[in-house]
């Protein structure tokens, strides 16, 4: 074969091969692996509006920001402090996108002294008071012990909840994915 024919065959193969591979994958029924969230998606999403939630410590909810929120227990024990620390770590791992995320603790009434102390020690976390019991009633079952952590979008929709024993790297990946594909907040 001449050199020109080899070049022509090479170009033909370079253009035709992707179509042949694509057709073969389609014909055999192969599908790419789906991305599965690590938390429980809340459907329909309850809306947390600013008038319902008022700031007790750190100010009112900042509009247009994603919120990593802890559904507060009555008293802040070691698990509560660990969750607050993990929230701080998850937010800090968002790098350039960290300014689009705020941290909050949702309480039904006046927070306990232990919770207030833990939040002040962590810093840059807000405490919001509102209808927490109604919110918990609207949540799907997140696992044993109920929901501990939630992601709220900039429009106030509760997106995902995580159980007491959540995987912080899973929350980080879910939040990273939401920030990457969201044009709001």
- In the chain, what are the domains? 1-32 (no CATH), 40-181 (3.40.30.10)
Per-residue burial over 110-136, b = 16 or more CB atoms within 10 Å of its CB, e = otherwise: ebbeebbebbeeeeebbbbbbebeebe
> Looking at the predicted structure, is the pLDDT value of residue 16 above 90?
yes
Element holding 66 (H helix, E strand): strand 66-71
- pLDDT band of residue 147 (cuts 50, 70, 90) is low
The answer for residues whose C-beta is within 8 angstroms of residue 63's C-beta and 6 or more apart is 50, 154
Q: Mean pLDDT over all residues of the chain?
A: 85
What is the percent of the chain where pLDDT is above 90? 29
C-beta of residue 107 within 8 angstroms of C-beta of residue 72: yes
pLDDT, tens digit, 9 for 90 and up, residues 48-86: 766 677 777 777 777 789 999 998 887 888 888 999 999
Q: Which two tokens stand for residue 108?
A: 């039904």
Q: What is the pTM of this model?
A: 0.76
């Amino acid at each position: 074969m001449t050199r020109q024919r080899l070049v022509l065959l090479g170009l033909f193969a370079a253009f035709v091969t992707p179509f042949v591979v694509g057709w073969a994958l389609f014909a055999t029924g192969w599908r790419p692996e789906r991305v599965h969230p690590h938390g429980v998606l809340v459907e329909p999403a309850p809306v947390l509006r600013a008038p319902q939630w008022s700031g007790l410590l750190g100010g009112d909810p900042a509009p247009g920001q994603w919120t990593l929120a802890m559904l507060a227990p009555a008293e802040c024990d070691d698990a509560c402090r660990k969750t607050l620390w993990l929230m701080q770590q998850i937010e800090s791992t968002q790098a350039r996108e960290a300014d689009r995320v705020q941290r909050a603790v949702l309480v039904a009434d006046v927070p306990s002294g232990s919770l207030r102390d833990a939040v002040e020690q962590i810093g840059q976390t807000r405490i919001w008071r509102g209808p927490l019991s109604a919110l918990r009633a609207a949540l799907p079952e997140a696992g044993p012990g109920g929901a501990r952590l939630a992601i709220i979008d900039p429009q106030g929709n509760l997106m995902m909840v995580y159980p007491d024993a959540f995987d912080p790297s899973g929350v980080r990946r879910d939040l990273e994915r939401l920030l990457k594909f969201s044009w709001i907040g």
